[in-house]
């Protein structure tokens, strides 16, 4: 029996590697002879580079500026003519030294990582993982790091962050790195599960700004600053700003779209780069999961991406808590699932004993699979 494990972190309790180790024990408890194949997965946010390195990519260190300008050591993941960079690793929330800086955090570090990646010998495509962003600068810092001039009314380069974007008066694209221009340009692929546009009530400032510290008073003028930036960058055109994914990572998705990038679900990109299709081709069972299976999961989170990429192989999920119906789970390709809360006394107990409970839940799921019976919460059964 061959079992492929493709599990994301249980946020606040277990890392992806910890979940995977526990899941492996659960499988072997029921089938000691099973061939268990772990696959590190991510959705474009933090952990993307780790997942690719685990899949055999080379980690290339690259010094960049963090979200507030302090230097950090980030990594590029490289395999053949492909490279990947991760916003969270360069200038995301995890890189904030002193707490949120919603008006001053920028994306220059990600631009520096992209520039370093496209200068590696033989690189033809760069995947850019967007997630865990600390800023709402519309990707202005990224564009500056790639050679685009963003100037204020006095002809001075604008400062970092949304505060700097509010002063932009002109944009000059002539300095854009030549590797990103013309018919031989390096291909950019955005890995993100966000489908928001850049502006408005569903845009970068309104939806994601509060998570980074923007107040209700900040949001209108930050949205206005992003509008001004988009007007200068796309005169007479409203194309990129309205595309799904433009609002990702504080508008960084929009900046990459203006450079010709294509936006794809993050988990799909990571699974493809990690060679998941080949690994799952001979699997008898695929086990996925994350901390919470809920409405957000349906927008393209790891379990849905894994189930979709499983290509019809039986796929089950373990989770911390379950907020979806059996019909919804079946619709996305999950034939069975078991939340830790079903095995714990309460939610607090589920978090406290998450490791052992993951092991128990996976053992139960494997047992159900082998017996040909899958039970959803509420008694619905399918397999």
Q: Can you spell out the DSSP letters for 244-282?
A: TTTTHHHHHHHHHHHTT-EEE-HHHHHHHHTTHHHHHTT
Domain 48-266 classified CATH 3.90.1510.10?
A: yes
Scanning the chain, the segments in alpha helix (DSSP H) are: 16-30, 48-54, 87-91, 108-118, 140-145, 161-165, 209-212, 218-233, 239-242, 248-258, 266-273, 276-280, 302-309, 326-331, 347-352, 354-371
For residue 27, the SS3 value is helix
Of residues 220 and 238, more confidently modeled: 220
Strand 82-86 with 35-38, pairing:
unpaired
**Is 379's pLDDT higher than 50?**
no
pLDDT for 227-284, tens place per residue?
999 999 987 666 899 999 999 999 999 999 999 999 999 999 999 999 999 999 999 9
pLDDT for 334-373, tens place per residue?
999 999 999 999 999 999 999 999 999 999 999 999 998 7
**Is 376's pLDDT higher than 60?**
no
Residue 287: what pLDDT?
98
Using a 10 angstrom Cβ sphere, with 0-12 exposed, 13-18 middle and 19 or more buried, the burial of residue 119 is exposed
Residue 12: what pLDDT?
87
Mean pLDDT for 302-329 is 94
pLDDT for 72-95, tens place per residue?
999 999 999 999 999 999 999 999
Domain with CATH 3.40.50.10350 in the chain: 2-40+279-371
At the second CATH level, the architecture of 2-40+279-371 is 3-Layer(aba) Sandwich (3.40)
Return the residue matching tokens 């809360």: 341
Residue 193: what pLDDT?
85
Calculate the average pLDDT of the chain: 93
Residue 383: what pLDDT?
32
Q: Are 132 and 274 in contact (CB under 8 A)?
A: no
- As a whole-number percent, the residues of the chain with pLDDT over 90 amount to 86
**What number of CA atoms fall less than 13 Å from residue 78's CA on the CB side?**
20
Residue 311: what pLDDT?
87
Using a 10 angstrom Cβ sphere, with 0-12 exposed, 13-18 middle and 19 or more buried, the burial of residue 342 is middle
Residue 238: what pLDDT?
65
- What whole-number distance in Å separates Cα of residue 114 and Cα of residue 64? 10
Mean pLDDT for 40-63 is 92
Q: How many CB atoms lie within 10 A of CB 346?
A: 9
Rounded (10°) CA dihedral 99, 105, 110, 113: -80
Domain with CATH 3.90.1510.10 in the chain: 48-266
pLDDT for 146-170, tens place per residue?
999 999 999 999 999 999 999 999 9
Residue 336: what pLDDT?
95
Residue 374: what pLDDT?
59
Mean pLDDT for 14-33 is 96
């Amino acid at each position: 029996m061959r079992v492929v494990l493709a599990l994301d972190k249980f946020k606040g309790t277990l890392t992806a590697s910890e979940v995977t180790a526990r899941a492996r024990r659960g499988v072997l408890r029921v089938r000691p002879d099973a061939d268990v194949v772990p696959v590190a997965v991510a959705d474009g946010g933090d952990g993307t580079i780790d997942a690719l390195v685990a899949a055999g990519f080379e980690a290339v260190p690259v010094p960049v500026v963090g979200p507030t300008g302090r230097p950090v050591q980030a990594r590029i993941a490289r395999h053949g003519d492909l490279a990947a960079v991760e916003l969270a690793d360069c200038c995301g929330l995890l890189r904030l030294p002193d707490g949120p800086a919603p008006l001053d955090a920028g994306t220059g570090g990600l631009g520096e990582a992209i520039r370093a990646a496209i200068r590696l010998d033989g690189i033809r495509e760069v995947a850019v993982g967007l997630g865990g962003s600390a800023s709402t600068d519309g990707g202005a810092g990224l564009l500056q790091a790639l050679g685009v001039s963003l100037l204020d009314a006095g002809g001075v380069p604008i400062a970092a962050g949304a505060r700097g974007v509010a002063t932009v008066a002109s944009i000059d694209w002539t300095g854009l790195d030549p590797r990103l221009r013309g018919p031989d340009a390096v291909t950019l692929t955005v890995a993100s599960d966000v489908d928001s546009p850049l502006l408005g009530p569903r845009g970068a400032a309104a939806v994601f700004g509060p998570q980074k510290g923007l107040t209700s008073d900040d949001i209108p003028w930050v949205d206005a600053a992003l509008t001004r930036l988009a007007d200068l960058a796309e005169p007479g055109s409203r194309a990129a700003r309205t595309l799904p994914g433009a609002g990702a990572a504080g508008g960084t998705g929009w900046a990459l779209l203006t450079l010709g990038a294509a936006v794809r679900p993050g988990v799909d990109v990571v699974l493809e780069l990690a060679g998941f299709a080949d690994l799952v081709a001979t699997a008898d069972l695929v086990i996925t999961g994350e901390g919470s299976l809920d409405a957000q999961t349906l927008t393209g989170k790891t379990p849905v991406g894994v189930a979709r990429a499983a290509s019809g192989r039986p796929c089950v999920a373990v989770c911390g808590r379950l907020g979806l119906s059996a019909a919804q789970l079946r619709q996305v390709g999950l034939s069975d699932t078991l939340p830790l809360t079903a095995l714990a006394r309460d939610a607090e107990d589920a978090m406290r004993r998450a490791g052992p409970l993951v092991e128990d839940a996976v053992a139960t799921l494997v047992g159900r699979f082998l017996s040909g019976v899958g039970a959803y919460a509420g008694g619905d059964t399918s397999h």
